C-alpha cells in the first residue's frame, strides 16, 4: 500500500509511516536508499500488509518513518488505523 503524502496529515513535521518492499534486489535497495536520503528510518517491526481481499496472502513489508521516536505503540496505532479503513 502506498499513501500519498499530504501536508494536512503531517504531525509535527512527520509523515505517516511508509510501507516498502523488503530489500531483495537492486530496485528495492535503491527505493530504500531514496527514502533514507529523505531522513526516513527503517524499523525492525515484523510488519505484514493487511490483505485487501479475504483470499489474499499477507505480504511482508518494511516500515519506514521520518519520526525518530516512532515507538511500537505508535506502530500499533498506525496498524489499527489501517484496519479501520480497510
Q: What is the pTM of this model?
A: 0.74
Query: Domain spans of the chain?
Result: 16-85
pLDDT in tens, 14-52: 677 889 999 999 999 999 999 999 999 999 999 998 887
- Residues 68-77, mean pLDDT to the nearest whole number: 87
pLDDT in tens, 55-72: 888 899 999 998 888 889
Q: Which residues contact 51 (CB under 8 A, 6 or more apart)?
A: 57, 58, 59
Q: Strands 59-65, 18-21: parallel, antiparallel or unpaired by DSSP? A: antiparallel
Are 78 and 17 spatial neighbours (Cβ–Cβ below 8 Å)?
A: yes
Q: Which residues contact 53 (CB under 8 A, 6 or more apart)?
A: none
| Cα-Cα-Cα-Cα dihedral sign, residues 16, 76, 36, 11 | positive
Amino acid at each position: 500500500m502506498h499513501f500519498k503524502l499530504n501536508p494536512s496529515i503531517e504531525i509535527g513535521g512527520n509523515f505517516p509511516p511508509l510501507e516498502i518492499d523488503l530489500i531483495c534486489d537492486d530496485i528495492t535497495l535503491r527505493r530504500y536508499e531514496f527514502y533514507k536520503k529523505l531522513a526516513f528510518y527503517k524499523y525492525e517491526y515484523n510488519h505484514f500488509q493487511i490483505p485487501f481481499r479475504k483470499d489474499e496472502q499477507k505480504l511482508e513489508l518494511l516500515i519506514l518513518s521520518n519520526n525518530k521516536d516512532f515507538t511500537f505503540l505508535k506502530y500499533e496505532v498506525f496498524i489499527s488505523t489501517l484496519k479501520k479503513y480497510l
